[in-house]
Amino acid sequence: MLMIHRNKLIISLFLVFTAIIEPINCECSTNVSRKSFPEDFVFGTASSAYQYEGAVKEDGRGPCVWDTFAHKFAKVIDFSNADVANDHYHRYLEDVKLMKDMGVDSYRFSISWTRIFPNGNGKINQGGVDHYNNLINALLANGIQPYVTMYHWDTPQALEDAYKSWVSPQIIRDFGAYAETLYEKFGDRVKHWITLNEPHTVASQGYDTGIFAPGRCSILLHLFCRAGNSATEPYIVAHHMLLAHATAVDIYRRKYQSIQHGSIGAALDVMWYEPETNNPEDIEAAQRAQDFQLGWFLDPLMFGDYPSSMRQRVGNRLPIFTARESALLKGSLDFVGINHYTTYYARNNKTNIIGVLLNDALADSGTITSPFGRDGKPIGERANSIWLYIVPRGMRELMNYIKHKYGNPIVLITENGMDDGNNIFRSVEESLKDEKRIRYYSGYLENLAEAIKEDGCNVKGYFAWSLLDNWEWSAGYTSRFGLYYVDYNNNHKRYPKNSVHWFKNFFNPTC
């Protein structure tokens, strides 16, 4: 009996001791910290206007395509909308303090096009200009550099109504005028511009599958969308987005960059693809998958034209750049923004039966990508989103791919992160214990540090997605990507998750 009681005492003391030191272990059980990166490396968090701001009818803002889309029946999984989101529009001063407290030195946010031009063009809305002036000034006053995205999917509804927005070349001129207005109003303080966020997602999800705004597609004879052409519109939209980017960059370089001394780039979404086997067909398929994702946009921006595999497989459905357009595109990046979350397997699609039946652009690569191998095992641990698997090695592989294919350009990781589910039965206290997110960031940052120090990849910054839980497009409020928990049932109150404490220690290691 004495031995039993003694063992119980030892176990009890052990449990108490581990409970006391658990937060320290949680923060220190990593091989990576701020010291693992160059001194001038930039660390920040990221957001987008539509997912954060709310206040959709305030201070002169006009409607965007996502306002329309989110209010349609069954377009968002939980039937929610972003009319309030996490109320960042009214609480930005509080959120800036959260960033400063966490220790970041930069904040990537997007400007709502329809806060500046409610109709997409024409008269400027001073209320929108005032808001972003206030946000930018608050950031700078707290030692946080603004990284501004001009377009994060919230196309003005007026332009959609007038000429189908990105389907028409007219939008190139309107986007250029919008970009120039931003340079004029904010360029004296904003030194880092991102023209477009994830044009690949807009083209593929908005105009091929139709599951994102404006919801155009022709899959299964317009069963899911009333209008669109899934075989052609994704390529037309991507073409116009690329030319809009090049136009905005050209205006900046000719008229503003020498005076304002800023830099300009674009943010591209990139999965890393691993060949499912060592079979040459699968290796080639993985390369094609990358061509139809990253190469679709980065090849024109670096080399002036689309990848040869796209030219061969898409044929006359793929638009052609004029010599002038090609010259305008080539080199129109001071840095490459990379939004990277996960890695998939890729294998050759021998039959392409589904692609033929659906007649959509997503099948043109002739590649099947999946998070599951032939043995049925997942490539990594899954986050909440059905598409997001945790594969830290993909970060290093991707950085090396960009280095070798594109001549080691300056890269910013403009988004990286993972989500938990919004479990209504879980208490706020329990929801703050996000150890999986800590493992995610630790693994991805460790691989990023190795890519820089050991492989010589030219990466200059990293932005965690996201500062706050937010409205996650078609997933609505079912997904929580934030470092800070937002209590939607209690005045949108913010609570730091354990990952915030981890990042504080990352920036200022105590062990």
Active-site annotation, residues: 198, 415
At 245, list the tokens: 């980017």
Q: The tokens of 147 are what?
A: 């990284």
Contact 371, 339 (CB under 8 A): no
Helices (H) and strands (E) in the chain, counts: 20, 17
For residue 426, what are its two tokens? 């879980």
- Is residue 50 helix, strand or coil? helix
How far is 42 from 108, CA to CA, in rounded Å? Answer: 11
- CA within 13 Å, CB half, 243: 23
- Rounded to whole angstroms, the Cα distance separating 277 from 269 reads 24
Two structure tokens written together for 345: 């397997």
Residue 326: asked if its preceding bond is cis (omega within 30°), the reply is no
Containing 272, the helix (H) or strand (E) segment is strand 272-275
What is the rounded CA–CA span in Å between residue 84 and residue 157?
Answer: 19
Residue 176 token pair = 């250029």
- Measured between alpha carbons, how far is 348 from 363 in angstroms, rounded to an integer? 11
Contact predicate 107/45, CB 8 Å: yes
| Count of alpha carbons within 13 angstroms of residue 58, beta-carbon side | 12
DSSP letter at 467 equals S
Contact (CB, 8 A) for 474 and 75 = yes
Euclidean distance between CA atoms 496 and 75, whole angstroms: 31
Measured between alpha carbons, how far is 486 from 469 in angstroms, rounded to an integer?
6
Q: Tokens 């709502």 belong to which residue?
A: 112
Give 291's DSSP letter: I
